[in-house]
A and B are shown apart, each in its own frame.
Chain A
Amino acid sequence: MMSHAAYVFASYAFAAVILAGLVLWVLVDGRNRRRELRALEEAGIRRRSQAGGETK
């Protein structure tokens, strides 16, 4: 039988893991997508809507 404090600690630890995971996922995903976009733009590929001179 765990002490009550252990249940409280486990709950907050799990919350920290989930929330940190979400923040990390959003940050890493965003960084990777922006990197891909930059690489494509450097290769000279433009979206159709950008052909008219729109920058981003």
Chain B
Amino acid sequence: MNENSLAIRKFSDLANPTRFLGLSALVLPWLAVLSAVLLAIGLYLSFTTEGDYQQGETVRIMYVHVPAAWLSMMCYTVMAISALGTLVWRHPLADVAARAAAPIGASFTLLALVTGSLWGKPMWGTWWVWDARLTSVFVLFLMYLGLIALNRAMDEPGKAAKASAVLILVGFVNIPIIKFSVEWWNTLHQPASVLRLDGPTIDPEFLWPLLVMAAAFTVLFFTLHIAAMRNEIWRRRVTSMRRQAARSAGREA
């Protein structure tokens, strides 16, 4: 057996929900502690670093706004990879992953929208404008809500899986639009200042708290996602056991 097929076998071992439950039980407490520690350091840095010479205190909104916005896009990317897993490899956990991620993604998107609004009012003088960046993120929020609604509307997880996987992949076109909207169109929203080809243009005073908060949000996302996936596996087990109980009760009668 070569190394490649061994790696594939290890990966497909993870596809077994029972094994996933066992492994995730080991990993979850560490992830939870790590996200709490990172969040504590991030919050400390967010409030101890200096304010901006133009924006004053409001620059601190960036430390929650920007990580939330990054996570809203990363969560959708995780869902798109899961959708591929459902459609191409029929990975049994792929649909569980996509379904568990949707409410978390919607929450981070809402957080990005609201904190952006709270930042826009003092700095731009308006809560909201329909520019390309804000509109495309709002569309992302609506897509999350649509996917949650679709999953809830269908009783059979197997049927909902395919439909929502196709919808997720179609909607993925929005992610590059969000990312590059500030370059392609003239927006009130500023262009990227961290994730750019020529390196960050943001002052290190602001970069550090931002990066630590981004790391905290990322670890927190994976903690929540893994926990939500466990819940989803249990939910499906309960459903199938209830169905089985009903079937055997019918047979006895």
Q: Which residues of B contact A15 (CB under 8 A)?
A: 64, 68, 111, 115
Contact flags B91-119 to A (C-beta < 8 A → 1, else 0):
00000000000011001101100110011
- Is B242 positioned at the interface, with any CB of A under 8 Å from its CB? yes
Q: Is the CB of A45 within 8 A of B118?
A: no
- Among the listed A2, A11, A34, A40, which residue makes an inter-chain contact with B241, where contact means beta carbons less than 8 Å apart? A40
Instruction: Name the segment of B4-12, B55-63, B162-170 touching the other chain.
Output: B55-63
Within 8 A of B (CB), among A1-35: 2, 4-5, 7-8, 10-12, 14-15, 18-19, 21-23, 25-27, 29-30, 33-34
State the majority secondary structure of interface residues on B: helix
Cα separation A44 to B65 with both chains bound (whole Å): 50
Q: Is the CB of A45 within 8 A of B241?
A: yes
- Is B228 positioned at the interface, with any CB of A under 8 Å from its CB? yes
Of the listed residues B21, B114, B122, B241, the one surrounded by the most CB atoms of chain A closer than 10 A to its CB is B241
Q: Which residues of A contact B201 (CB under 8 A)?
A: none
State the majority secondary structure of interface residues on A: helix
Q: Is the CB of B57 within 8 A of A5?
A: yes
Q: How far is the CB of B111 from chain A (nearest CB, A)?
A: 5
Q: Is the CB of A26 within 8 A of B115?
A: no
- Is B231 positioned at the interface, with any CB of A under 8 Å from its CB? yes
Question: Nearest residue in B to A10 (C-beta to C-beta)?
Answer: B118
Q: Is the CB of B237 within 8 A of A34?
A: no
Cα separation A23 to B41 with both chains bound (whole Å): 19
- Is B132 positioned at the interface, with any CB of A under 8 Å from its CB? no
- Among the listed B60, B121, B228, B245, which residue makes an inter-chain contact with A26, where contact means beta carbons less than 8 Å apart? B228
* Count of residues in B whose CB is under 8 Å from the partner chain: 37
- Classify chain A: how many residues form its interface, as a range: 20 to 34
- Among the listed A23, A37, A48, which residue makes an inter-chain contact with B224, where contact means beta carbons less than 8 Å apart? A23
Q: Which residues of A contact B60 (CB under 8 A)?
A: 8, 11-12
Q: Is the CB of B111 within 8 A of A47?
A: no
Of the listed residues B64, B65, B104, B220, the one surrounded by the most CB atoms of chain A closer than 10 A to its CB is B64
Q: How far is the CB of A4 from chain B (nearest CB, A)?
A: 5
Q: How far is the CB of A38 from chain B (nearest CB, A)?
A: 10
A-B contact pairs, 28 of them (CB 8 A): A2-B121, A2-B122, A4-B56, A7-B58, A7-B119, A11-B64, A11-B65, A11-B115, A11-B119, A14-B111, A14-B114, A15-B64, A15-B111, A18-B108, A19-B220, A23-B224, A26-B224, A26-B227, A26-B228, A33-B231, A33-B238, A36-B238, A40-B241, A45-B244, A46-B241, A47-B237, A47-B240, A48-B244
List A residues at the B interface (Cβ < 8 Å): 2, 4-5, 7-8, 10-12, 14-15, 18-19, 21-23, 25-27, 29-30, 33-34, 36-37, 40, 43, 45-49, 54, 56
10 nearest A-B pairs in the assembled complex, by CB-CB distance? A33-B234, A11-B115, A15-B64, A26-B227, A11-B61, A4-B57, A36-B238, A29-B231, A40-B241, A11-B118
